[in-house]
Amino acid sequence: MNHATTKLLKWVILVEVACALGSVVLENILEDTLPSEIRQYIARNDNAEMTSVQMVGYGFGVVLLAGMIVSWIGLWRLWRPARTIYTACWLSAILLYLAMEPAYYYTPVGVMLSEYSTLAGGFVLGLIYFSDLSVHFSRAKAKPGAAPNGDPATPGGNSGVTEGPPSVS
């Protein structure tokens, strides 16, 4: 595994996390800069009673956030299951995003950081599926003495088996 690729993966994970967090924080700070019509729409939605679909969606979102945190830490540490967790969280988050609300409004800075986070996420997926890291994340942990191609290894040393047919006494 290439050390430079591993280092790049870690940097891209940092960018993804920083942009996602920055987007959330700046959206809350800069919400007052949106046009008044959009702020009124947001206020109406915030004051409306939450539907059962939204409750389930937000609960699922919390689970996805926990999964993303676990996968970021796992990818950082090159933990093999992290690739599957990360991919499942991304695919589920896309579906959840599409199902939750018909319209989202962002400030320009918030949307920029959100898009950069998404771009970094795509870059992470590219690294873990299409770079030399893909071999690390896709292969099963080798058992001691196993052949490199996954075939059972030939036992080394004297196994107690002699060549030729058994002798008849």
- pLDDT tens digit sequence for 114-154: 999 999 999 999 999 999 999 999 876 555 555 554 455 55
pTM of the model: 0.77
Joined together, the tokens standing for residue 161 give: 């088996």
Domain ranges of the chain: 3-138
Q: How many other CB atoms are found less than 10 A from the CB of residue 143? A: 10
Predicted pLDDT at 160:
53
Cα 63 from chain centre = 13
Q: What integer pLDDT is reported at residue 104 of this predicted model?
A: 75
Residues of the chain with pLDDT under 50: 149-150
- Residues 6+ positions from 87 with CB-CB distance below 8 Å: 125
Identify the CA nearest to 7 among candidates 75, 104, 107. Answer: 75
